[in-house]
C-alpha cells in the first residue's frame, strides 16, 4: 500500500503513469490529480490527435442504443449530459434533433416508445422533451423531401470534442499533474514492485526513465498493442477497431436544428450545423483490420454518406460537394457482435496487478459522453492501492473557462463583448465559445485589434496563438487549425504557412 501525495520527492516514483492523451487519459489524469495522486501523462502526439478529435461531437444518451437494450449506458450517458452541460457551457450546448419517420423503416410507434424512454431514463432533465412534428407545416421540415410528412423532435447536446480533452488536461495540470505531449512510452516493466518506464521525446529523440506505482493504459486504438507490447501484460479483454468517417459540406439548410436520418441498413446518420457556414454529416461504422494510426475516408464511405443525405433531403449532394472530411478509429470493447453498428459503446476496465503489486489498468471502449464516469470508475478500480485517496470530486467541478453564473453562456458572451468592444462580433463569440472565461486572458490589456498582434486567417491573432503555445501545448499550425479550433476551414495554404512560420519563430526564440 502507498501513501497518497501530490508532491513527489525528487527521484521518487509517480503514483500514476497515464499512457494516452485522449479524452479517457486526460479525464483519468484530472480525476487522479484532484484526489491527491502524483500523475504523469504521456501522449506521443498532440492531445486529442486521433480518436478523440474524430467523433460526431455529441454529448448524448445514445438514442439508438436503446435498440440494443443498453439501458444502463443510456441512463448514465443522459445523467452525464446534464452534468457536463453545467460544467462546460462554453464548449457544450443544447441541440434539437429532428427524426423524420420513414414509413419503410422503423414504425412510428417504435420511435415514440424509444423517445418516451429516452425522456424518462434521465433522473434530472433540464432540456426540452420530445414531441411529434408535422414536417410539411413546420420550418424544420422545409429541407426534407415531400414524402416525409411526420417526425419527432428531441434534445441532446453538441461538444467541441478536442477542446474537451484539452480542458481536462489543463485542469489536471492545475491540480499537479505533469502533461507531456510528443512523448511516447517505449516500454515499461515491473521491477521491485513498481513500474519502470522508458520515455522518448518525439521532437528531440531524447530518452528518460521514470518509475510509477501504477499505470493506466488509455492508448485508445493502441490499447491492446500497449498492453501486450509496451507493458508486456497478457489480457483476455480485446478491442475491436471500428473506423468512423465524417464529411463536411456547405450549409445544407437554414436553422439551428440537427437531423437524425434512418437508413435501410438500420444505421442512423446525423446532419448537424457546423462552424456557422457548414453541415457535418456522419458517421460510418466500418470494421478496421489494419494497424491503428492516421486514417482517411474512403470513396465508398463518402458515397455512402452522400446517399444517406439524399434519401431524406430535398437538396442532393455528391462527393464534389465535400469541403473537408475526417476519420478516426474507435477502440470498442469486443463483445463479439456480428454488426459493427451493434458493438457496445460501453466500457470495460481491466486491471492486471501481478499478484497484488504495481497494477496496470487498461481502458477498453467507452464514449466521449461518459468519459467522466469512466475516469471515476477507473480510479475506484485502483483505489485499494492508494488507501489515503481523497474522495471523488469531478461531479460538480467546472472545467477551465466554464465557471459562469448559472452556466449562462449568453450572459457571459454579452459581458465579454462589452469588455472587448473592439472585437468583431463573430470573433468575440468564437473566443467565448472556445475558451469561456479564459478568453479574457487572450485580450487582457488590449484596446484595439492591433494590440492583439499579427492577424492570421479566420480572426486568429498572435495574442491567441501565444496563449495556445503558453497554456495548451500547441506546437504546430495543425494543432491550432484542426484541434484547438476548426479555423482550418477558413485558412488557405498561404495562411497556414504564415502561421507555421510564426510558430517556428516563437519556438526558436524560446
- Cβ atoms within 10 Å of 269's Cβ, excluding its own: 22
Give the confidence band of 345 by pLDDT, cuts at 50, 70, 90: low
> pTM for this structure?
0.96
Question: Does one domain contain both 357 and 453?
Answer: no
Residues 20 and 120 in one domain: no
In this structure, the answer to whether residues 413 and 505 fall within a common structural domain is yes
**Residues 274, 155 share a domain:** yes
Q: 433 and 402 in contact (C-beta within 8 Å)? A: no
Q: Do residue 155 and residue 180 come from a single domain?
A: no
- Mark whether 355 and 259 lie in a shared domain: no
Is there a domain that residue 392 lies in?
A: no
Judge whether 394 lies within some domain.
no
Query: Is residue 145 scored above 60 in pLDDT?
Result: yes
Q: What stretch of H or E contains 279?
A: strand 278-282
- pLDDT interval class at 2 (50, 70, 90): very low
pLDDT grade for 124, boundaries at 50, 70 and 90: low
Whether 1 is in a domain gets the answer no
Local structure of 185: helix, strand or coil: strand
Residue 472, all three cell numbers: 495548451
Q: Identify the DSSP state of 190.
A: E
> Does 156 share its domain with 265?
yes
Q: Is 495 domain-assigned?
A: yes
Count how many domains the chain has. 3
Question: Domain check: are 257 and 136 in the same one?
Answer: yes
Which distant-in-sequence residues (6+ apart) come within 8 Å of 364 by Cβ? Answer: 223, 237, 238, 239, 331, 332, 333, 334, 347, 348, 349, 350
Per-residue confidence (pLDDT) for residue 340, from 0 to 100: 53
Are residues 152 and 120 part of one domain? yes
Does 253 have pLDDT greater than 70?
yes
Residue 58 belongs to a domain: no
130 closest CA partner among 120, 140, 138, 145: 120
Instruction: Give the model's pLDDT for residue 259.
Output: 98
Q: How far apart are CA 256 and CA 437, in angstroms?
A: 24
Residue 391 covered by a domain: no
Does residue 5 have a pLDDT over 60? no
- Name the more confident of 266 and 425: 425
pLDDT at 199: 98
Query: Would you state the pLDDT for residue 316?
Result: 97
Q: What angle do CA 395, 430, 497 make, to 5 degrees?
A: 115
Q: What is the pLDDT of residues 378-401, one digit of tens each?
A: 999 999 999 999 999 999 999 999
- Euclidean distance between CA atoms 226 and 36, whole angstroms: 26
Q: Which of 165-169, 344-348, 353-357, 402-406 has the lowest mean pLDDT?
A: 344-348
Closest C-alpha among 259, 261, 260, 255 to residue 276: 255
Q: What is the mean pLDDT of the chain?
A: 94
Whether residue 219 is predicted with pLDDT greater than 80 in this model: the reply is yes
For residue range 57-78, list pLDDT tens digits in order. Answer: 999 998 988 887 888 889 999 9
Residue 477: pLDDT band (50, 70, 90) is very high
Q: What percent of the chain has pLDDT over 90?
A: 85
Domain that holds residue 368: 14-50+163-238+345-385
Count of CB atoms within 10 A of residue 194's CB?
A: 19
Instruction: Tell me phi and psi for residue 10, to 5 degrees.
Output: -55, 130
Residue at which a domain ends, from 317, 335, 353: 335
Are 409 and 309 contained in the same domain?
no
> Is 368's pLDDT higher than 60?
yes
Residue 332 has pLDDT above 90, yes or no: no
**CATH number, residue 319:** 3.30.9.10
Residue-level pLDDT at 238:
76
In a domain, 56, yes or no: no
The rounded distance, in Å, linking the Cα atoms of 358 and 230 is 15
Last residue of a domain, one of 353, 385, 417: 385
- C-alpha angle 264-270-276 in degrees, rounded to nearest 5: 150
Supply the CATH number for residue 40's domain: 3.50.50.60
On whether both 140 and 266 belong to a single domain, the answer is: yes
DSSP 479: I
178 within some domain: yes
Residue 231 and residue 124 in one domain:
no
445-462 residue pLDDT tens: 999 999 999 999 999 999
Report whether pLDDT(6) > 80.
Answer: no
Return the CATH number at 455. Answer: 1.10.8.870
Q: Is the pLDDT of residue 422 over 60?
A: yes
Amino acid at each position: 500500500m502507498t501513501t497518497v501525495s501530490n508532491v513527489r520527492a525528487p527521484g521518487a516514483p509517480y503514483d500514476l503513469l497515464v499512457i494516452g492523451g485522449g479524452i479517457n487519459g486526460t479525464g483519468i489524469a484530472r480525476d487522479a490529480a484532484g484526489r491527491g495522486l502524483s500523475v504523469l501523462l504521456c501522449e506521443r502526439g498532440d492531445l486529442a490527435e486521433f480518436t478523440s478529435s474524430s467523433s460526431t461531437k455529441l454529448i448524448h444518451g445514445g438514442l439508438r442504443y436503446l435498440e440494443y437494450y443498453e439501458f444502463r449506458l443510456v441512463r448514465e450517458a443522459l445523467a452525464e449530459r446534464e452534468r457536463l452541460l453545467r460544467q462546460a457551457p462554453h464548449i457544450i450546448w443544447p441541440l434539437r434533433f429532428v427524426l423524420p419517420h420513414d414509413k419503410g423503416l422503423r414504425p412510428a410507434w417504435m420511435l415514440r416508445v424509444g423517445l418516451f424512454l429516452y425522456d424518462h431514463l434521465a433522473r434530472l432533465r433540464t432540456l426540452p422533451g420530445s414531441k411529434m412534428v408535422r414536417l410539411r407545416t413546420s420550418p424544420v421540415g422545409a429541407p426534407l423531401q415531400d414524402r416525409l410528412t411526420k417526425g419527432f423532435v428531441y434534445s441532446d447536446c453538441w461538444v467541441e470534442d478536442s477542446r474537451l480533452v484539452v480542458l481536462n488536461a489543463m485542469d489536471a495540470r492545475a491540480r499537479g499533474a505533469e502533461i507531456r505531449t510528443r512523448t511516447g512510452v517505449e516500454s515499461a516493466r515491473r521491477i521491485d514492485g513498481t513500474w519502470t518506464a522508458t520515455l522518448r521525446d518525439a521532437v528531440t529523440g531524447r530518452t528518460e526513465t521514470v518509475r510509477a506505482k501504477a499505470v493506466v493504459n488509455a492508448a485508445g486504438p493502441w490499447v491492446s498493442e500497449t498492453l501486450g507490447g509496451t507493458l508486456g501484460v497478457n489480457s483476455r479483454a480485446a478491442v475491436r477497431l471500428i473506423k468512423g468517417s465524417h464529411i463536411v459540406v456547405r450549409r445544407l439548410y437554414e436553422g439551428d436544428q440537427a437531423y437524425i436520418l434512418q437508413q435501410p441498413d438500420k444505421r442512423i446518420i446525423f446532419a448537424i450545423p457546423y462552424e456557422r457556414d457548414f453541415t457535418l454529416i456522419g458517421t460510418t461504422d466500418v470494421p478496421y483490420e489494419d494497424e491503428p494510426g492516421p486514417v482517411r475516408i474512403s470513396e465508398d464511405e463518402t458515397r455512402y454518406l452522400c446517399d444517406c443525405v439524399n434519401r431524406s433531403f430535398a437538396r442532393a449532394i455528391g462527393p464534389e460537394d465535400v469541403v473537408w472530411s475526417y476519420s478516426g478509429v474507435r477502440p470498442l470493447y469486443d463483445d463479439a457482435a456480428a454488426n459493427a453498428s451493434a458493438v457496445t459503446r460501453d466500457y470495460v476496465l481491466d486491471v492486471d496487478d501481478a499478484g497484488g503489486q504495481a497494477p496496470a489498468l487498461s481502458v477498453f471502449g467507452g464514449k466521449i459522453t461518459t468519459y467522466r464516469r469512466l475516469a471515476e470508475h477507473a480510479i475506484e478500480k485502483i483505489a485499494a492501492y492508494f488507501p489515503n485517496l481523497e474522495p471523488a470530486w469531478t461531479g460538480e467541478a467546472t472545467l477551465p473557462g466554464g465557471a459562469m453564473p448559472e452556466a449562462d453562456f449568453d450572459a457571459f458572451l454579452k459581458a465579454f463583448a462589452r469588455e472587448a468592444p473592439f472585437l468583431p462580433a463573430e470573433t468575440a463569440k468564437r473566443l467565448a465559445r472556445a475558451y469561456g472565461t479564459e478568453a479574457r486572458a487572450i485580450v487582457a490589456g488590449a484596446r484595439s485589434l492591433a494590440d492583439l498582434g499579427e492577424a492570421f486567417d479566420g480572426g486568429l491573432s498572435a495574442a491567441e496563438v501565444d496563449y495556445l503555445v503558453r497554456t495548451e501545448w500547441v506546437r504546430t499550425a495543425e494543432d491550432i487549425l484542426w484541434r484547438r479550433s476548426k479555423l482550418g476551414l477558413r485558412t488557405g495554404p498561404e495562411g497556414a504557412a504564415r502561421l507555421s512560420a510564426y510558430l517556428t519563430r516563437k519556438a526558436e526564440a524560446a
